[in-house]
Amino acid sequence: MPYEVSIRLAGLEDMDAIVLLDRTLDTLPHWPAAEYRTAIAGPGASPLRCVFVAEFGCRIVGLAVGRVDHIAGERSGELESVGVALAAQRQGVGRELCSNVISWCRSQGASHLDLEVRSQSAGAVALYEGLGFVTEGKRRNYYRDPADDAILMRLDLKPGQADPAAQAGPPA
């Protein structure tokens, strides 16, 4: 990742830039602004959520959202979305954003992370596989506009397992 790009947790002051970026990327979930506001608003929110942003100068060029739910005595993580501005893609920004979400979910006690991804988003699937996610199943016709299947992927966060964020090399 270029050393000029930094990753940090988002604040409410980033809301406008986050929503703008969300709207420019077709395959992001296009959440209403209120959904992002809730996700950023923690701590104390339930479920626990994190929003990381990638910043280049004063510009937000990437975002990633994660959550941790407490279900039946187990903490379950989810990588809800990740998106990088077209001009900043294929420079390691998406990988670094995901790594931060993974580390955050681990720090919140999650035993694993799940995600759903469009079957036609080959780049995203490759990104997740590179981070250690494995395919667990498929939901047919899960997405609309355009119609697509969802691939279900999981990353186990076993104690002592290597942390992808820790594996990231020094800045280029």
Nearer to ligand COA, 27 or 70 (CB): 27
State the minimum distance, in angstroms, from the CB of residue 43 to ligand COA.
24
Nearer to ligand COA, 122 or 134 (CB): 122
DSSP 89: T
* H or E segment to which residue 122 belongs: helix 122-130
Given 53, 94, 106, 110, the residue binding ligand COA (CB under 6 A)? 94
Q: By the 8 A CB rule, do 171 and 7 touch? A: no
Classify residue 167 by burial, with Cβ atoms within 10 Å: 0-12, 13-18, 19+.
exposed
Using the contact rule CB under 6 A, the part of the chain among 99-107, 122-130, 134-142, 164-172 near ligand COA is: 122-130
Residue 81, C-beta contacts closer than 8 angstroms, at least 6 positions apart:
28, 29, 63, 64, 65
Residue 40, C-beta contacts closer than 8 angstroms, at least 6 positions apart:
10, 11, 12, 14, 15, 51
Q: Hey, what are 17's tokens?
A: 């830039």
- 100 part of the interface to ligand COA, by CB under 6 A: no
Q: Cβ-closest residue to ligand COA?
A: 94
Residues 62-81 that bind ligand COA (CB under 6 A): 81
Given 90, 140, 144, 158, the residue binding ligand COA (CB under 6 A)? 90
Given 11, 32, 130, 171, the residue binding ligand COA (CB under 6 A)? 130
Residues 25-64 that bind ligand COA (CB under 6 A): 25, 27-28
Using the contact rule CB under 6 A, the part of the chain among 23-31, 105-113, 148-156, 159-167 near ligand COA is: 23-31
Question: Rounded to a whole number, what is the distance in angstroms from the first to the last CA of the chain?
Answer: 6
* H or E segment to which residue 113 belongs: strand 112-118
Chain residues binding ligand COA by CB under 6 A are 25, 27-28, 81-84, 89-95, 117, 121-124, 126-127, 130
